[in-house]
Amino acid sequence: MTRPILDEAQIHPAIRARVTEHHRDIVQEVMAAVAKHDVVVVGMGQNPVCKKARQLLDTQSQPHQYLEYGNYFNTWRRRNALKMWSGWPTFPMVFVKGTLVGGAHELQALIDSGELKQLLSRTA
């Protein structure tokens, strides 16, 4: 299944650079963390669901990298760039072995089914 993304040919040449560079730094920071760490949680302050995802990993004694970007009162434009990049509409965003697996609810399902351990046991 391929998610729809506006084709570059449908973006006027005069704005392509602006679209390409829109908060690129935050996206590259997350991409680098995902490439370096087995588990990455991308979140925001004051969000209890982000805290829950981290607690779930802690209960599994699973080390993870946590990246936090602002809170409900700020930094929403930068976080929006991550949502556009990943296609995931909420925080946290949980990545396992380079793959976006969803948020805290989806992480809980992976733990309950044993799939998280399977994903982590695979070599890259």
Domains along the sequence of the chain with CATH: 11-68+86-121 (3.40.30.10)
- E runs forming strands in 9-119: 39-43, 65-68, 93-96, 99-102
Output the pLDDT for position 103. 98
Output the pLDDT for position 123. 73
- Residues 12 and 114: their CA atoms lie apart, in Å, by 47
CB 40 within 8 A of CB 95: yes
Mean pLDDT of the region 86-101: 97
For the segment 49-93, what is each residue's pLDDT rounded down to a tens digit? 999 999 999 999 999 999 999 999 999 999 999 999 999 999 999
Q: Sort strands 93-96 and 39-43 into parallel, antiparallel or unpaired.
A: antiparallel
For the segment 2-60, what is each residue's pLDDT rounded down to a tens digit? 889 999 999 999 999 999 999 999 999 999 999 999 999 999 999 999 999 999 999 99
